[in-house]
Chains A and B, each alone.
Chain A
Amino acid sequence: MDRYVFFGGKGGVGKTTVSSAYAYKCAAAGLETLLVSTDPAHSVGDLFEQSFDDDPRAVEGVEHLSAMEIDPDEEVSRHLQDVKRKLSDQVSAAMVNAVDRQIEMAHGTPGAYEAALFDRFVDVMRDGDAYDRIVFDTSPTGGTLRLLSLPEYLEGWIDRLLAKRRKSIDLFEKAAIGGREPRRVLEGDPVLAHLRARKEFFEDAGRMLREDAAFFLVFNPDSLSIRETERAIDRLDEQGLSVRGLVANRFTPAPDPDEEGRGATYLRSRVETERERLETARGELSPPILATIETYVEEVRTDRLASVADELEIDVDRTRRPTS
């Protein structure tokens, strides 16, 4: 079942429009839908001409649809505060400094951004009981793909950490011969407990992504975009996640046959190349192309969304989530 639907693709191909249109379609079919944007530029708010924040909020004027915008920066600093608060709960002030520096450093690494986003994704999926469908408008390709490959990678890594920690504690216990107090004990070790909780979190995430998620990629009819999409399909495949379908966006509208002149000639040749590229994409990319959407002169807003949604031939599985 596709409870979680991800839209990915290169920057600027129109992921927000397509994912919003899909969410709109779901909502129109009567499914309680949540649209989640992770793009720091936040165009979902612009599209619906409303402001959203970190908490899901009902979209005005569209029934059954809620939206939220995740700000990774905010997530990172919240995580930083969390860890620091725990630190000051545990420790005397004199000890804090060296460790504090390490914590700051960890939150400045390039991976922090992705990890924070990933955490939030999984939280939204885990707490999404109120929704029949959750649609993710993801940030551009590279980041998203790495995000989705995190669970598998991290699970293995945590396994190794757990094993190391267990072994060293075991040795500390063995070293305590003759009734000495061992330096560390296995029972109730907070580090082991924490690692185990994390592992469970990643397992959950991996399971949800493999079993309940569908992935769609959006591309434009230009060769760069098509190549990028091809790579994205391969990489998702490597993670055991298959791309359900492709959406080709931003097609040039053809001029009327009786129109002549430079503009019309230009448009005609553009339409021709785009048609060729679409054929190439159909031939070379294995997931089916589910929709081809023409460029809109104006920005797509709520009133236009319905017509974009109509062009999307992604089947909205109308069955609601079985209420357990």
Chain B
Amino acid sequence: MKSPASHPIESLLREHAPRVLGAILRRFRDFGASEDAVQEALLAAAMQWPVGGVPENPRAWLIQVASRRITDQVRAEAARRHREELVVSMVPPELQLVLPVMGDESMGRDDTLALLFMCCHPALTTSSAIALTLRAVGGLTTAEIARAFLVPEATMAQRISRAKQSIHASGVPFQKPTPEETAARLGAVLHVLYLIFNEGYTATSGPQVLRTDLSGEAIRLTRMLHTLLPEDGEVAGLLALMLLTDARRAARTGPLGELIPLDAQERGRWDAAMIAEGVALISATLSKGSLGLYQVQAAIAAVHDEAVRAEDTDWPQILALYGVLMGLTDNPMVALNHAIATAMVHGPRTGLTLLDVLHQSGRLDGSHRLDAVRAHLLERAGEPAKAVVHYRKAAERTTSQPERDYLLLQAARLSEGMGA
């Protein structure tokens, strides 16, 4: 995936992909076959347009080519099975298709929404939903998605084809979700978009530098969803959270891909335009009195991003926001972050007391995070020897290589400071 500016045709194609698929689906019903046909049309356009120029109505072109592909396929299939049945209709199949009115914007919007809901259907596993969303709604090729997730192309193709089978088996009709369905299933859609963003954001070094920009794609799709559902607070909240997090990308890793924690990041390298957009978005959303998990997390990210220096961070406000978040979810990771904010406001000892409570609840058993936070607070409380023990314990338990390296370096730094 390259930046839209350097590849206008590519981004134009991806822009049209969900609506073209929507138009094809409405006519042919078969999700699997429609999706394949649209992929072929996108590929044909990617090869022909740079040479022959972009057609006057790109979407109509794509719909026509995809329709032709799927008709050819249906006809070949039919010919193979029952040659004689073809004469039933004297009208060639491609002429039975009347191209939709191109000015019908609302139809295109509804289609995109319906597609997102279909791809994030609860019948699918998360990894399938992610792959299908990127292909059917994002317009990425299977090869691109496979590269982004570091799996062989054949594996990704299989994942996508199984996802399509599940959708077929589930019998969900392709139609605009009702307001009730939107309310009930939007959470799953947002979760899939959030996971796509995270997958891109947490990739850091080593062979991963080859990864395509999944975070950028997640932001693009969430932005599209926000245009479709501008009144939804959580959609706006998720978009703001992504922008406010991605704004720190350049500053969060060093030259070797090593992690740099928030308080040590060079804030001049943060993306000011992205921060401004995210802050404006979350402020407008919160002023409407709406509240949800993504919105509160975006608000917390905004407070961090607005501090010019780490020591300017408004920790009392962050602590208050974590209090709100704890009222919305009983996720122990939120409780852990609440303990960190508490330590920043009331001192490391108070934070450590909260960690003891969390530890006793057993809800974070086996998580290296508890050790990592404990190490950090012990260090701040002036107990380097104990901090080293917990930094190392966390390093042994984490399954993230950059994080392992970071924790090891913290332990090494502290033990050198003690003269050990």
Query: Is B truly associated with A?
Result: no
Interface of A with B (CB < 8 Å)? Answer: none
